Amino acid sequence: MHILIISTYGFDPHFPSRPEFLLARTLATLGHRVSAVEYHHNPSQPRQELYSENLTIYRCGTFGFFSRDLWQLARTLPTPDVVHVHHLRHLLAFQAQIHWRTKAPMVLTPHGILHDGDLVVDRERPLEHPLRPERLLLTGAQLRSAIMHGAHPRRSIRNYLIHAPLHGYHGIMALSQHEKDVLVGLHVPAERITVVPNAVELQQYVDAPPRPRHAQPTILFIGQLVPRKGWDLAVRALPLIAQTIPDIRMVMVTHNTSQRSEFEALATSLGVMERITLLTSVDEAQKIQLLQEAHLLLAPSRYEGFGIPPIEAMAAHCPVVTTDCAAGNEIVHHEKTGLLVAYDDIAGYATATIRILQDTPLRTQLIDDGYAHVIKDYTPITVANQSLEYYQQRIATFHK
């Protein structure tokens, strides 16, 4: 099968764990021909790269929502059997549908539909407000009407070019049931949608030599310093935990420090700054080591389109506490593979953390069941086979 995968920045060799790159490599290993397209965002990278025998990466320059490089590629690339676009707000999705929609089935993985600033009131707290589907311009008629009624022309055209492709896909691979439900609410036919999670490169966790936990009870937080990741909830829970676990400490791993000043002010005001270690540059090997050494992962997110850190934690035999909301509550099953806490419940995060630290039988059970869960459902080969099955369904329907 010839599979064309179109992403934004998904095929940078410096970030091999990105889900679409992992999927492309696995499909190529299974013997399929994979053509991978991304934005040409790094001048040091070649426009075309033969990554492996069956995987070629094409990097296309963009001018707004169009690309001369993509137009030339569409003229020369043999027609694929299926086209898989990643990210709802992809700048080149509209053009890609012009090139391939009548030639091959096209499927989309949205990667967190509530990241869409047109659809939600607050991207950092999208679950706290009703959605705004009426703001999505999906048709030419809606675009004309919006402009005629005074909407900003440039913003309206951008809105249309982003969202018009949504109803043009022959199928959608949602990352969660929640994402599927939102898509159905946007009038995408339910029969076009399946749920296929992201894969996670778990072999590195399986192969990693075991390491002892820290002697001092340690909570690990992995995520951006933005409200959506709930870093503030983790910091606010820490003094409550310290009342029961006096020597508790927290390691926070982040690559986005946009709220660092707010973090430092909050931690200082609560008297827990000395308990926290902030790491802003961690490679994969270091991340695995941190997960192995931590006593639990605390992921108090206010929304996740999917949520990879809990899966990585379970693979590293690290128990998980996360929020009972999308899509973490589809990855973590309460009291089976982790503990779920009500949205924004600071005391609940503290209680769940203390429970894991003090209840050895529960901690052991969560570790064992969590590891079995991720090895069963999230390996690259499992997700690749699910993707191939859906591709075949869409191909059969397309050629009827």
Looking at the fold, whether 273 and 361 belong to one and the same domain comes out as yes
Residues 63, 157, single domain; the answer is yes
Do 27 and 147 fall within a single domain?
yes
- Assess whether 156 and 234 both reside in one domain: no
Same domain for 168 and 105, yes or no, is yes
Contact 27, 58 (CB under 8 A): no
- Rounded to whole angstroms, how far apart are CA atoms 272 and 311? 28
User: Do residues 245 and 195 both lie within one domain?
Assistant: no
Using the predicted structure, report yes or no on whether residue 14 has a pLDDT greater than 90. no
Give per-residue pLDDT as tens, 176-231: 999 999 999 999 999 999 999 999 999 899 899 989 999 999 999 999 999 999 99
- Structural domain for 234, as ranges: 203-377
Instruction: Check whether residue 19 and residue 162 sit in a common domain.
Output: yes
In a shared domain, residues 340 and 234: yes
Structure tokens at 135: 């703001």
Q: Read off the pLDDT of each residue in 364-368 and give the average, rounded to a whole number.
A: 98
- Supply the pLDDT for residue 400: 87
The residue behind tokens 């660092």 is: 260
Q: Are residues 51 and 189 in the same domain?
A: yes
- Give yes or no for a contact between 217 and 249, defined as CB atoms under 8 angstroms apart: yes
Q: What is the mean pLDDT of the chain?
A: 97
Work out whether the CA dihedral 383, 384, 390, 394 comes out positive or negative: positive
State the amino acid at position 110 in one-letter form.
Answer: P
Asked whether the bond before 164 is cis by omega within 30 degrees of 0, the reply is: no
Give Cα 61 to chain centroid, integer Å: 24
Average pLDDT of the segment spanning 85-100: 97
Domain CATH code at residue 189: 3.40.50.2000
pLDDT, position 393: 98
Q: Tell me, what's the pLDDT at 15?
A: 85
Are 313 and 391 found together in one domain? no
Sequence-distant (≥ 6) Cβ neighbours of residue 73 within 8 angstroms = 37, 58, 60
- Provide the domain count of the chain: 2
CB 96 within 8 A of CB 6: yes
Do 268 and 119 share a domain, yes or no? no
* pLDDT above 70 coverage of the chain, percent: 100
pLDDT exceeds cutoff 90 at 339: yes
Q: How many CA atoms lie within 13 A of 84 on its CB side?
A: 29
307 lies in the same domain as 188: no
